[in-house]
Structure 1
Amino acid sequence: MITFGTFLLAMVAVGIWTYQENLTFADFALGGRRLSAPVAALSAGASDMSGWLFLGLPGAVYAAGIGATWIAVGLAVGTYLNWRLVAPRLRTYTERAGDATTLSAYLEERFEDGSRMLRLVSATVTVVFFTVYVASGLLAGGVLFEGIFGGGFEFALTVFAVVIVVYTVLGGFRAVSVTHSVQATLMFIAAVALPVIGVVALGGFGALKGALDHKSPALLGMGDRAEFVGDRWGAGQSLGAVAVISLLAWGLGYFGQPHILVRFMSIRSTREIPMARRIGVAWVVACLAGVSLVGLVGIAVLDHPLDNPETVFIALSAQLANPWVASILLVGVLAAIKSTADSQLLVSAMALTEDFYRAFVKRQASDASMVLAGRVTVVAVALVAYVIALSGGAVLDIVAYAWAGFGAAFGPVILLSLYWPRMTRAGAMAGIVTGAVTVIAWKHIDPLLGPLRSGIYEMVPGVLAATAAALFFGRFVGSPPRRVWSGPLDKKNAATAPVG
């Protein structure tokens, strides 16, 4: 309680400390594009790896074995490609687009959309999926607090939500990013330290392998999925190509995640991106490998099988470490949950403020009124997410749904906007709508296919459909933008000239 209380108060203190730095809406939304390479890298990683890193992923490995780590492989590759392919151009293009503070504003400028429908549709998709995503973060925080301290899920959820709202409202993007550097460090320590403690307690990796073989040989097969039933692990079954593709497909989602892409937009210069990429990828790989190992160690070490596999990190910390060490490890879990929830909360609030309030209600809004509107929308989104979180559910399932929604709706369109000069507004609109609708509809369509049911992760059909729609409409409907966006990165104000 002392450790958790100190951490939460420190987060609120950062919000108070950075309150005076939000003189303009650009400061509140993007921190004035002043993030250094280490801060941007750690903030992107912390925003990405939410509570599912310590709850959902080790829980999946605990229940199914090492075959579940195909998710981690896909995410590691996706992280690298996102920094390599998207970060440099998005940083430059969003600055050229009149210092756009949201993806919706960038897309409107990039495709010269005078109707503003592209901004309206993309902002709506952002708010809908992010509200669900924020709910998953609040849910994970409630599960963590209840599992450690008791006191009831509703009370734990309320405390967690209030703290996040307070420092996000006060400090905006700057507070969120500063706290992410600390939280990413805590996450790294927790992800690496606990599996090391567990392996040492077992007597080494040889002892771990022996214990897992005794439980079920399927636990150590990359192509297998063990069956966790009751109090034991069965022989399991082969994952199959569809399952492996579904797990790897998580990596496709990176190109369309606004809470990660906004970190690329806010870095000081494209010259700092190579360093940020190295730091960010190394951090992600270490954290994913560590928490995956936690799931395996939990199978071998814990005295009794868990009713809820997603609590394996909490249970292992309590069994292996003294209360002070365990509290630091569990603060790492809290940091993971908070660092994503606050990012998503801020981005969705910015979409409401920039893309609805200023775009359609008050176009000449002053900076002061925009900052105020941003703070009000933070509270509004948090309240809706809080209500959703009260209904409960599995953290990984909720995250998977929202991740697929963003990846399919925005991923193909963002990539095409950066690399296909002749892409049209119709292509962008078709890609966003098709991707979002496919993800929403797939869970209802796939079960109706009966024997033909694929069981594939909705990200895959969503990305394929969105890409096809964007390419078709982008090629045959509408005229390409007149402005030339290609050119040396990090130079403002690309020349305006007819394409070709």
Structure 2
Amino acid sequence: MTSAQIAIMTTIILYLCLVIFTGVMIGKRSKKSAEGFYLGGRGMGPLVTAMSAEASDMSSYLLMGIPGLAYLSGVADASWTAIGLAIGTYLNFLLVARRLRRYSVELDAITIPSFISKRYGEKKPIIMGIASLIILVFFVPYVASGLAAIGKLFNSLFGWNYMLSVIVGAIVIISYTSVGGFSAVATMDLIQSVIMTVALCVIVVFGIVQAGGMDAVLAHASSLPGFLSFGQTYNAASGQAEPYGLIRIVSMLAWGLGYFGMPHILVRFMAIRHEDELKLSRRIASIWVVISMAVAVFIGIVGHAVSSVGRIPMLEGSATETVIVRLSDLLSSYGLLPAIVAGCILAGILAATMSTADSQLLAAA
């Protein structure tokens, strides 16, 4: 194992220790009740509410999926998806948050299934049982996919056994989620959103430098047919532009519809300390989503330019999702301090995965 790999591994291990320590400390101060465990005693501030909602939603898609999509086919797919997600975020806060917060308090509901059940006054918990079953059926595999991503990350970086890596990730997530409950999850989501933001900013600046500057990045992107177009998409196999029709645009925009039914996001609205603070949360969440996803799309463009000058390999297919990992590996080759920074960036990918998995685990619970 090289010194750069040791520095990266040490940074990630320290981050995991921070996660567990934070969960344990918050767990000691949390209210010992069902409402305290599942909603943090309805005492979340607007900043934590906003960033926790967004971090628990974005997962590794923000740091791997969107950059990889932009790298593979240009801005059309990634940008229309990002626009749909931004619109969905804003409308969810605007149309759902205040009502859900108000009526969940009046009905004394601490979960989405219990809210639906009490809202319609059912005498037998049939609706609640169906809603709970749906959450379990879909969230258990979703949590498992997050753990699988953690296993693949450690396996590809350090050659660790895949199953051992999955178990380590599961132990870390389950430990701070079970001890600290919603308060620990929401606080860690805030921390993880900061790490994700820093990772995006550092890698985009580093990538621009490696590509030869902003002019070189834009010149390369412009040379690829349809790469910078919202109405066309770049086909890497043929090297030609393809039309990007209305149906595909609507399909990408429809990603934002998912927000209105995600239990791990909706409970954030129920947990805020006062409904009047949701307006500030909406502004924070909307601004962060727009900026972070715009940077993620741009990383894909920058990464393709870096590949074109031979600094990282030209990526194809699903390998395009590793563009940030490749850039981090390149960064770590410049010495100990850059390797530590690269470790922080890779911890950002880990944070993105964990921030979704812990919230879904709590919702499934």
TM-score, structure 1 normalization: 0.66
| 3-state SS, counterpart of residue 314 of structure 2 | coil
Per the TM alignment, residue 22 of structure 1 is displaced from its structure 2 partner at its CA by 4.4
| 3-state SS, counterpart of residue 32 of structure 2 | coil
Counterpart pick for 1:41 among 38, 45, 50 = 50
2:180 is the counterpart of 1:171: yes
Per the TM alignment, residue 279 of structure 1 is displaced from its structure 2 partner at its CA by 1.2
State the one-letter code of the partner of 1:38. L
| 3-state SS, counterpart of residue 226 of structure 1 | strand
Q: Which residue of 1 aligns with 2:304?
A: 299
CA distance in 1, matches of 2:353, 2:102: 30
Name structure 2 gaps, 5 residues minimum.
Answer: 1-8, 333-337
CA distance in 2, matches of 1:193, 1:28: 35
CA distance in 1, matches of 2:294, 2:152: 23
Matches within 5 A, 1:393-412: none
Matches within 5 A, 1:85-484: 85-98=95-108, 100-214=109-223, 216-229=224-237, 234-302=239-307, 303=310, 304-307=313-316, 308-320=319-331, 322-349=338-365
Query: Is the Cα contact below 8 Å between 2:331 and 2:339 reproduced in 1?
Result: no
Per the TM alignment, residue 60 of structure 1 is displaced from its structure 2 partner at its CA by 1.2
2:98 is the counterpart of 1:78: no
2:12 is the counterpart of 1:4: yes
CA distance in 2, matches of 1:309, 1:111: 47
Query: Is the Cα contact below 8 Å between 2:199 and 2:345 reproduced in 1?
Result: yes
Per the TM alignment, residue 115 of structure 1 is displaced from its structure 2 partner at its CA by 2.8
Query: Is the Cα contact below 8 Å between 1:192 and 1:291 reproduced in 2?
Result: no
Work out which structure has the larger RCO, using CA pairs closer than 8 Å and 6 or more positions apart in sequence: 2
Per the TM alignment, residue 200 of structure 1 is displaced from its structure 2 partner at its CA by 3.4
CA distance in 1, matches of 2:145, 2:269: 24
Q: Which residue of 1 aligns with 2:6?
A: none
Per the TM alignment, residue 212 of structure 1 is displaced from its structure 2 partner at its CA by 2.0
RMSD (Å), alpha carbons: 1.5
CA distance in 1, matches of 2:140, 2:236: 32
State the one-letter code of the partner of 1:70. W
Query: Is the Cα contact below 8 Å between 2:216 and 2:305 reproduced in 1?
Result: no
Per the TM alignment, residue 188 of structure 1 is displaced from its structure 2 partner at its CA by 1.1
CA distance in 2, matches of 1:282, 1:3: 29
CA distance in 1, matches of 2:178, 2:31: 11
Q: Which residue of 1 aligns with 2:68?
A: 59
| Runs of 4 or more consecutive aligned structure 1 residues displaced over 3 Å after TM superposition | none
TM-score, structure 2 normalization: 0.90
Per the TM alignment, residue 201 of structure 1 is displaced from its structure 2 partner at its CA by 3.3
Query: Is the Cα contact below 8 Å between 2:26 and 2:183 reproduced in 1?
Result: yes
Work out which of the two has the higher radius of gyration on C-alpha atoms and give 1 or 2. Answer: 1
Query: Is the Cα contact below 8 Å between 2:181 and 2:362 reproduced in 1?
Result: yes
| 3-state SS, counterpart of residue 227 of structure 2 | helix
Per the TM alignment, residue 245 of structure 1 is displaced from its structure 2 partner at its CA by 1.0
Query: Is the Cα contact below 8 Å between 1:218 and 1:236 reproduced in 2?
Result: yes
Query: Is the Cα contact below 8 Å between 2:67 and 2:296 reproduced in 1?
Result: yes
Per-residue CA distance 1:164-202 (angstroms, 9 max, x = gap): 111111111111111112111111111222112222333
| 3-state SS, counterpart of residue 219 of structure 1 | coil
Name structure 1 gaps, 5 residues minimum.
Answer: 350-500
State the one-letter code of the partner of 1:284. V
CA distance in 2, matches of 1:238, 1:163: 45
